[in-house]
Every structure is written in structure tokens, then in C-alpha cells.
């Protein structure tokens, strides 16, 4: 998309975000205003989505890890054709609205995962990217690829400070999750002030040492952003991080670059001054026609993308009938009915042994079951005999070696579950098998 249109879209996002926060009299305008340029490039030129079917299986996943910047996501969803109206945006942060303070997956069409606790959206994105590699290896056949998508995640300084981001990103690098693209909102501001108060590591070196592909751009320069995302997409044997140098609260004459724009309304006067500075209408919740017409064209684009995928799937069905049947069960989250071993009451079996037997039985019956452990496999008996270890050389491995990264494991599992198509489990404290599903299937013999 051309530079002028991208700029108009970005400024509309800024205006809507400022207005939403101002009307609610609470919220976070800084992140949306700072990342508006990156977001408009991503949605206009790269993201594969069908706004009329947000659950389309082969869509790219987009996660806003810094959930506090939710007005960015809501503005994007509204503009690009999802079922989120301008009136919904005016209801920001109101009880039972479709636009809660932080994005909630069950409340808003187009929200991929609930975010807010910093670092967790990022680890969910790692899980989603992992799920894509597994399902692609299992189902793609030659040129016919029913599973082929990228996972994009926006994460800020706070996300990268959180310990869970270290676990998840180290895991992603080790497993060469090449279709994961992290757009890092490097604005060097958090709530307390400048990041130099508490954060001084070299993020580039950190991610290089995790085996990531590292790129740096000016996050307000469309040409640089486009070039970097293109490069990141091409690098398929490593995840990519694009360090986007941005200005928090971009456009606000008195608050940009300052922590004051992070988490409070800018104030009626400042909102007006900002709109004047950006050269846009001062009218509340104003969306210029030329912007809306362009962004709404993604409705037909999305429908076309999904229709093409459906057509390929028909071909796939004829050529690979058995695989298709499995794939179709996978994507439809069909009911899972299974039998589990029964143990005599009063016996003296260790719970981890009983659990191991149950896992063995389940792994033989549930094709989409994904096991794993944070380095306690032999002790907690989490690996079924038929499971093989996942690695970049064995992408069909259905047992994940998480390493000693329990928190990361939780976030990654949530990402795998919410990606849909797979049922991850791991063992907690040797007591209970925890299975996670996006849509809980009905399970006969649930324990
Ligand atoms: C786990 C967790 N701890 C604390 C918070 C509270 N919190 C919300 S935003 C924020 C600062 C985030 O800074 P940054 O990621 O740089 O966001 P920006 O200032 O760019 O909007 C904090 C501490 C949170 N949401 N989650």
C-alpha cells in the first residue's frame, strides 16, 4: 500500500485510540499511537486474514502481547472489517462491552488470545507458531499445503523484561520456529519512566544468542518496516525479531516520548492539539471515507483467500482421503471419545504410574494429543511409548522437550491450544494430567 494511505490509516488508529481512552476516561493511548505505523503496514501488506471468518484455520495469527494497548487492536479490527463497530469502540472499557480494557478472546471477534499479563501473549504466540510447524509437517503434501501461516506478535519493553519471555523466546530459537515474527515496540518507556531505570541489556545480542534473526527499523518509516517484514518472512529457519524504534504517544505535542502518554487519557485539549499536529479532523471517532473504503476492501480480499484455500482443500481431499479425514477432525475440534484404564480402588499404585498408563492409553486414541514436560519425563511418566520427541529435524514429533521452563511451558501450551487443532497436556506435581483445549471437546471418561 502507498505511503499516504498507510499514514492516513495510522493517523486514524491514533485518533480512534485517543478518543476511546478519552471517552472511557481511562486506558492506554501511548502504545497504539507509537505502533500505529507498524500495525498499518502489517495489516495492509502482510497479514493473511478473513475478517468475516476470524476463525479461518489457515489465517496468520496476530497477538498484541501488551494487552494494555487494546485500543490499537480494536481500531484495527474495526477498520479492517471485523464485526466490531464504531459504537463498540465508543463502549471501550464498559461493562459487558465487546471492547474490554484488555483484549479477551471470548469477547471480541478477531482477538486471538487474552492478553494483559505482560510476556504471556508473547509465549502464547510461540505456542501458536509451534502448532503451525507441527500441523504443517503432519498434513502438508508437496505443493498442497492446508497449513501454512505466520504468527506475528507485538511486544514491548515490559513483555521483554518479564521472565516468561526469556523462557518462551529461548524455546522458539532452539526449535527454529521460523514463521514467528516478533515486532518489538522499542520505545524505551514503561510506567515508571525511561527503561534505563531498570533495563539495560542488549536486546539484539540477547536474541542473537537465542538463535533468532534480528532486524532493526525506524518504526515510523513505512519503507523500512515493509523491507524488514519481507526479510523476516524469508528467514524460515529462525524466528525473527524486528526491533522497531518507536515514539510512545507519537503525534502528541506535549506528551509523546513521555511516560505520561503510557496509561492515562491525554486530556481533551491535548487530543485536539495532537489531531491538529497530525493534520486530521478534530471530530471525535472520525474515520475518513477514503481510509474506511481502503480498509474495508480487506473483507472481499479475505473471503477470496479463504475460498482459494477451500478449493485447494478439495483437491487435497481427493488426493489424500485419509489425511483429509484426520485434518478435518482436527480443524473442526470434533468430539473426542476415548477409553481410559480403570484402576482398582485400594491398590498401591503411585499416581505418576497410573497417570503414565492413562497417557499411554490416550496417546493411542487421540491423534491430536501433544505431550511434554519441563525436564521430568522419566520421573513423571509423561511420555507415551508411541510418542516421539519434537525437534527441528522431527517436526511431527508429538512430545515436547520444554527444558526446565515451567512458566514458558504454560504460556506455550495455551498458545498451542488456542491455535486450535491440537490438545496439549503436561503433568503438574505428579498428581493430575492437565489437558488444554481451545474449545473443550466432550470427553467420555473425563477425569
Ligand atoms: C505481568 C504484568 N506485570 C505488570 C503489569 C502492569 N503493567 C501494564 S503496562 C506496564 C508497563 C509496560 O511497559 P511497555 O511494555 O514498555 O509498554 P508501553 O509503555 O510501551 O505502553 C506494566 C508494568 C502487567 N500488565 N503485567
The angle formed by the CA atoms of residues 160, 117 and 188, to the nearest 5 degrees, is 35
CB 101 less than 6 A from any atom of ligand 1 = no
Give the distance (Å) from ligand 1 centre to CA of residue 108.
22
Chunk the chain into consecutive blocks of 10 residues (it has 447) and report each block's average pLDDT, rounded to whole numbers: 98 98 98 98 98 98 98 98 98 98 97 98 98 98 96 98 98 98 98 98 98 98 98 98 98 98 98 98 98 98 98 97 92 73 88 93 91 96 97 98 97 95 68 47 31
Pocket test for ligand 1, best of 101, 117, 118 (most atoms within 8 A of CB): 118
**Same fold: 3-302 with 336-444:** yes
Question: Bridge partners of 218?
Answer: 245
Domain boundaries, the chain: 3-302, 336-444
CATH classification code of 3-302: 3.40.50.970
Using the mean position of ligand 1's atoms as its centre, give its distance from the Cα of residue 66 in Å: 7
User: What number of residues does the chain have?
Assistant: 447
Q: What is the pTM of this model?
A: 0.95
Rg of the chain over Cα atoms, rounded to whole angstroms, equals 23
* pLDDT computed for residue 428 by the predictor: 46
Give the bridge partners for 151, in sequence order. 61, 180
- Which pairing describes strands 432-435 and 423-428: parallel, antiparallel, or unpaired? antiparallel
413 CA distance to ligand 1 centroid (A)? 23
Instruction: Classify domain 336-444 at the CATH topology level.
Output: Rossmann fold (3.40.50)
Q: Which residues contact residue 190 at a Cβ distance below 8 angstroms, ignoring those fewer than 6 apart? A: 156, 157, 158, 161, 198, 199, 259, 262
How many Å apart are CA 90 and CA 82, to the nearest integer?
A: 16
Give the separation between CA 104 and CA 90, rounded to whole angstroms.
17
What's the confidence (pLDDT) of residue 329?
85
Question: Does the beta carbon of 117 lie inside 6 Å of ligand 1?
Answer: yes
At a CB cut-off of 8 Å and minimum separation 6, what does 32 contact?
13, 14, 17, 69, 71, 72, 75
Amino acid at each position: 500500500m502507498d505511503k499516504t494511505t498507510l499514514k492516513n490509516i495510522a493517523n486514524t488508529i491514533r485518533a480512534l485510540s485517543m478518543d476511546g481512552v478519552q471517552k472511557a476516561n481511562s486506558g492506554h493511548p501511548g502504545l497504539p499511537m507509537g505502533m500505529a505505523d507498524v500495525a498499518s503496514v502489517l495489516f495492509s501488506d502482510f497479514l493473511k486474514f478473513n475478517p468475516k471468518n476470524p476463525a479461518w484455520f489457515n489465517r496468520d495469527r496476530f497477538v498484541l502481547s501488551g494487552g494494555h494497548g487494546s485500543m490499537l487492536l480494536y481500531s484495527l479490527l474495526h477498520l479492517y472489517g471485523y464485526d466490531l463497530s464504531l459504537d463498540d469502540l465508543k463502549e471501550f472499557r464498559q461493562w459487558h462491552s465487546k471492547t474490554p480494557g484488555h483484549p479477551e478472546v471470548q469477547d471480541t471477534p478477531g482477538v486471538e488470545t487474552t492478553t494483559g499479563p505482560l510476556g504471556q501473549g508473547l509465549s502464547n504466540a510461540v505456542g501458536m507458531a509451534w502448532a503451525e510447524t507441527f500441523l504443517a509437517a503432519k498434513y502438508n503434501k508437496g505443493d498442497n499445503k492446508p497449513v501454512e501461516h505466520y504468527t506475528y506478535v507485538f511486544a514491548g519493553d515490559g513483555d521483554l523484561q518479564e521472565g516468561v519471555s526469556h523462557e518462551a523466546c529461548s524455546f522458539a530459537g532452539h526449535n527454529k520456529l521460523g514463521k514467528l515474527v516478533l515486532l518489538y515496540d522499542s520505545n524505551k518507556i514503561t510506567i515508571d519512566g525511561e527503561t534505563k531505570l531498570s533495563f539495560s541489556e542488549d536486546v539484539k545480542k540477547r536474541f542473537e544468542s537465542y538463535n533468532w534473526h534480528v532486524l532493526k527499523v525506524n518504526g515510523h518509516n513505512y519503507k523500512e518496516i515493509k523491507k524488514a517484514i519481507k526479510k523476516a518472512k524469508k528467514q524460515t529457519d529462525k524466528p525473527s525479531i524486528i526491533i522497531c524504534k518507536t515514539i510512545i504517544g507519537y503525534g502528541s505535542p506535549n506528551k509523546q516520548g513521555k511516560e505520561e502518554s503510557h496509561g492515562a487519557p491525554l486530556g481533551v485539549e491535548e487530543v485536539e492539539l495532537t489531531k491538529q499536529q497530525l493534520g486530521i479532523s478534530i471530530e471525535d471517532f472520525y474515520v475518513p471515507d477514503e481510509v474506511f473504503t481502503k480498509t474495508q476492501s480487506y473483507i472481499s480480499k479475505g473471503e477470496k483467500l479463504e475460498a482459494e484455500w477451500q478449493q485447494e482443500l478439495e483437491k487435497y481431499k481427493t488426493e489424500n482421503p485419509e489425511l483429509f479425514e484426520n485434518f478435518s477432525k482436527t480443524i473442526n475440534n470434533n468430539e473426542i471419545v476415548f477409553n481410559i484404564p480403570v484402576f482398582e480402588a485400594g491398590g498401591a499404585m503411585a499416581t505418576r504410574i497410573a497417570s503414565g498408563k492413562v497417557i499411554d492409553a490416550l496417546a493411542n486414541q487421540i491423534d491430536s494429543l501433544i505431550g511434554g514436560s519441563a525436564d521430568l519425563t522419566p520421573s513423571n511418566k509423561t511420555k507415551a511409548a508411541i510418542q516421539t520427541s519434537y525437534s527441528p529435524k522431527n517436526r511431527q514429533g508429538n512430545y515436547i522437550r520444554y527444558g526446565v521452563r515451567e512458566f514458558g511451558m504454560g504460556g506455550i501450551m495455551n498458545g498451542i491450544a488456542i491455535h486450535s487443532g491440537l490438545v496439549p497436556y503436561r503433568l503438574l506435581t505428579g498428581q493430575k494430567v492437565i489437558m488444554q483445549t481451545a474449545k473443550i471437546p466432550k470427553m467420555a471418561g473425563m477425569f
